[in-house]
Amino acid sequence: MIPARRGRSAARRREAAAGWLMSAPVIVVLVVFLVAPILMAAWVSISDWTGIGSPFSSGVHNVGLANYKALLSTSGLPQQQLGESLRNNLYYVILVVPLQTALALGLALIVSRKRLAGRGFFRTAYYFPSITSSVAVSILFLYIFGTTGVVNALISNVGLHGPNWFNDPDGILHLLLSGLGVTHAPSALADHGFLGQPWWEWLAGPSVAMIAIIALAIWTTSGTFMLIFLPAIYAIPADLEEAATMDGANAWQRFRSVTLPMLRPTLFLVLTLGLISTWQVFDQIYLMSQGNPAGTTLTPAYLAYVTSFGNQQWGQGAAIAFILFAIIVVLTIAQRLIISDRRDTA
């Protein structure tokens, strides 16, 4: 008995060693290129490093929360820019997430039909933008929304004059209000504000330029999410829908009371993924607008980048990155709480 047990425990030890050995490359890369860099950036965000030499050299000092205070509580340009970028990104999220989710779900519901001619073609068509790089798609949309581009050509076909998309900083809610005759901010909204921006500016809506970037985001990602919805739709038992039909439910009622509840976990996944990725919009801003016109396409991710790499204010740039990190974490948790809450009461 004893030799057998010893043999078994030796095998156990060999298995444990093999387990760690096989996981080692992944562990090393994740520690060196994820954990260590984040700790390093955390240090930089509370330091006065200017990008010269190592951030650990003796000339670099701990400035406490000064960088965070300059962004969050001291009025000045950093706070103004952060406020502006948060507003822009907020409108981007509010428009992109629901629209891409609804579009993805709608397309998935249609292309999942068993008797649909050209099903494969439609799926490929909708998914193709998802595989192209942000650079190629940005070029395409700069052309499409250019002054003499496709969209303006279509608009002029119906006798209207298209905007100068990427040079138009006007917020669409402001444009709407000025259409109704409101051209000046009520003093209550102009004199008070948050994060260095008057409330009137917070209520500007996405700028015309941002609308073009929002269109790009919806166009590119709806196919990806359509593909996530498809298996979930196929997993809905067919007899459930049949039963609902027998009970006399029409298409909309079937969707509301059978399809949608069954898709709830997937819907949650898609909304979460959408929320996380839309708060990170960077490539398109860098490539298409660099935050222009008039700062109306500035986003926190791009602001962090230019503050560090452009202005060499590394402490402040890193602080913006951590603020963005916090926003994403808090929103993801909040969304999870809200949705699980609803499920409990339902």
Partner 1 sequence: MRRRRLWKRGLMYLVLALFAVIYIYPFLLDVGTAFKTDADATAHPLSPVPSHWVLAAFSELGQQDFPRWLMNSVIVAVFVTAGRVLFDSMAGYALARLRFRGRGALFSAIIAVMAVPGVVLLIPTFLILKQLGVYNTYPGLVLPLLTDAAGVFIMRQFFLSVHPSIEEAARIDGAGIFRTYWSVVLPMARPALLTLTILSFQGSWNNFSMVLVAHQSPSLDTLTTGVGRLVSGQLGAGTQYPLQLAAAMAMTVPVAIVFFVFQKYIMRTGEGAVKE
Residues in 209-248 at the binding interface with partner 1, rule: CB under 8 A: 219, 223, 227, 230-231, 233-235, 238
> In this chain, which of 48, 122, 170, 292 binds partner 1, going by CB under 8 A?
122
Stretch of 40-48, 91-99, 202-210, 242-250 lying at the interface with partner 1 (CB under 8 A): 40-48
Query: How far apart are the C-alpha atoms of 108 and 163, rounded to whole Å?
Result: 33
Give whichever of 163 and 171 is closer to partner 1, judged by the CB atom.
163
CA dist 55 to 41, 52, 78, 101, 173, Å? 9, 8, 22, 43, 44
> If binding is defined by CB under 8 A, does position 129 make contact with partner 1?
yes
16 makes contact with partner 1 (CB under 8 A) = yes
Stretch touching partner 1 by CB under 8 A, among 75-83, 104-112, 259-267, 335-343: 104-112
Binding mask 49-88 for partner 1 (x = CB under 8 A): -----xx---------------------------------
Residues 6+ apart with CB under 8 A from 287: 134, 135, 138, 139
Which residue's CB is nearer to partner 1, number 194 or number 234? 234
Strands (E), the chain: 193-194, 197-198
Rule CB under 8 A: is residue 176 a binding residue for partner 1?
no
Q: Which residues, in sequence order, are CB contacts of 319 under 8 Å at separation 6+? A: 45, 67, 68, 71
Cβ proximity of 301 and 230 under 8 Å: no
Radius of gyration of the chain (CA): 26
Q: How far is residue 285's CA from residue 281's CA, in Å, rounded to a whole number?
A: 7
Neighbours of 110 (CB within 10 A): 13
Q: Which of 6, 9, 30, 338 binds partner 1 (CB under 8 A)?
A: 30
Q: Which residues pair with 278 in a beta bridge?
A: none
Nearer to partner 1, 92 or 200 (CB): 92
- Single out the segment in contact with partner 1 by CB under 8 A; choices: 29-37, 84-92, 182-190, 199-207: 29-37
Question: Using CB under 8 A, which of 9, 50, 73, 280 touches partner 1?
Answer: 280
146/295 with CB nearer partner 1: 146
